[in-house]
């Protein structure tokens, strides 16, 4: 992987960058749709190509459980397995330490999980996370980490940081595939001194890139901004920075202005399946009765397949009737919205008008349905 800073913007630490992987190039800031089990829900690889996606995310833990990383390796790796020619980033399974808290036990060596599928027990640590991700063949892979809960007391988070950084070193030592870029993950909750400590120690290990984990788990906007600003300043400027799990457009805009380059979240796909659509004026709940005979497109500023062909009334009908097409059309629109949003951010950075773009964006947002 190669990362280059192409232009530094006029607002904060915002920058336009480029990442090159074995499966292509893309500019940053970039949003990665989530394909947890090797599939971005409701969309085909062609759909993703059509809306401009260049990189997506898949999950180590879930693919390890089903169908198994050795099956995927035998079939040529994750790219041919899912028919995707673009870049792929795989999470290490560390987020499941947080999300599956009732089904796991943490030790200094790793985590014992009880499978949510059949109750079987599995051990996942830094060595296992590296072996699985190398078998999957992703372009960018993540160090195994512990994502602490929020809120959590200082002592717990301090121990979590120590454990995460120790696992990061083990991941670095265990990595064997030179074509994959391994990112370290900064933890530390909302405690700024722990974030600085974690970032400094990981920076000394000289990872190709760095991620900010443990955010968007319940903290408020101001606390999140403080953490991002503190952490980004403690990381090398020449390396890409990835904010894990933040997906609201306003949160992405905040983070871009603070120097973040990469994002992922389930919001575009999950909200699409739940009938919530992102528009240039805010979020729209398509099930609302007001759209029953509305012949307008979801967003008249949007050029996606959904908006170019179908009315709000039709999309509401599909959703209320639980037609499968509703999930596909809604998700196409939402993912297109996010890819277009990132394109607009990159253009604003390039033209040194991100501050003005930010002001216009927030003033355009209407109350949600």
Nearest-CA neighbor of 47 among 280, 329, 248? 329
CA dihedral for 225, 230, 234, 238, sign (positive or negative)? positive
CA atoms within 13 A on the CB side of 98: 23
Cα-flanking dihedrals φ and ψ of residue 5, to 5°? -90, 115
First to last CA, the chain: 42
Is 91 catalytic? The answer is yes
Contacts of 200-206 with CB under 8 Å at 24 or more apart are: 200/234, 201/165, 202/165, 202/168, 202/235, 203/234, 203/235, 203/236, 205/168, 205/169, 205/172
The residue from 47, 91, 261, 352 that is catalytic is: 91
Beta bridge partners of 122: 113
Which ranges of the chain does DSSP label H, i.e. alpha helix? 45-50, 60-65, 69-74, 78-82, 94-99, 126-136, 154-174, 192-204, 221-233, 249-257, 267-273, 305-309, 312-320, 324-350, 354-364
**Catalytic residue (one of 145, 254, 264, 299):** 264
Cβ-Cβ contacts under 8 Å for 90 (sequence gap 6 or more):
57, 58, 59, 60, 63, 78, 133, 136, 138, 140, 141, 142
CA distance 287 to 320: 7
- 181-186 vs 140-142, strand pairing mode: parallel
| 264 flagged as catalytic | yes
Whole-angstrom distance, CA of residue 288 vs CA of residue 290: 5
Longest dimension (CA), the chain: 61
Cα 363 versus chain centre, distance: 26
Residues acting as catalytic residues: 91, 264
């Amino acid at each position: 992987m190669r990362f280059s800073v192409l232009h530094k913007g006029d607002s904060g630490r915002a920058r336009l960058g480029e990442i090159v992987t074995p499966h292509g190039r893309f500019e940053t800031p970039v949003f990665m749709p989530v394909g947890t089990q090797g599939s971005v829900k409701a969309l085909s690889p062609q759909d993703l190509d059509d809306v401009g996606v260049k990189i997506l995310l898949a999950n180590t833990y879930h693919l390890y459980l089903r169908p198994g990383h050795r099956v995927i390796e035998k079939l040529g790796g994750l790219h041919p397995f899912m028919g995707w020619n673009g870049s792929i980033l795989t999470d290490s399974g560390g987020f499941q330490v947080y999300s599956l808290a009732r089904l796991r036990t943490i030790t200094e060596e790793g985590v014992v999980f009880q499978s949510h599928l059949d109750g079987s027990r599995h051990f996942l640590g830094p060595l296992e996370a590296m072996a699985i991700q190398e078998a999957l063949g992703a372009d960018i892979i993540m160090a195994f980490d512990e994502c602490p809960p929020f809120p959590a007391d200082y002592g717990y988070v301090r121990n979590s940081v120590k454990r995460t950084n120790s696992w990061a070193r083990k991941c670095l030592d265990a990595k064997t595939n030179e074509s994959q870029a391994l990112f370290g993950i900064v933890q530390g909750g909302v405690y700024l001194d722990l974030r600085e400590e974690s970032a400094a120690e990981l920076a000394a290990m000289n990872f190709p890139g760095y991620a900010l984990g443990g955010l968007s788990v319940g903290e408020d906007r101001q606390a999140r901004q403080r953490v991002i600003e503190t952490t980004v300043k403690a990381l090398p400027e020449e390396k890409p920075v990835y904010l894990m799990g933040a997906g609201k457009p306003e949160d992405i805009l905040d983070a871009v202005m603070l120097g973040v380059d990469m994002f992922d979240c389930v919001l575009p796909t999950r909200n699409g399946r739940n009938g919530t659509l992102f528009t240039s004026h805010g979020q729209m709940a398509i099930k609302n009765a007001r759209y029953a005979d509305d012949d307008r497109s979801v967003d008249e500023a949007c050029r996606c397949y959904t908006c170019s062909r179908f009315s709000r009334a039709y999309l509401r009908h599909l959703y209320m009737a639980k037609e499968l097409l509703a999930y596909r059309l809604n998700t196409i629109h939402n993912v297109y919205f996010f890819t277009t949003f990132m394109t607009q951010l990159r253009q604003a950075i390039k033209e040194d008008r991100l501050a003005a773009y930010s002001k216009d964006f927030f003033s355009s947002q209407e109350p949600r349905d």
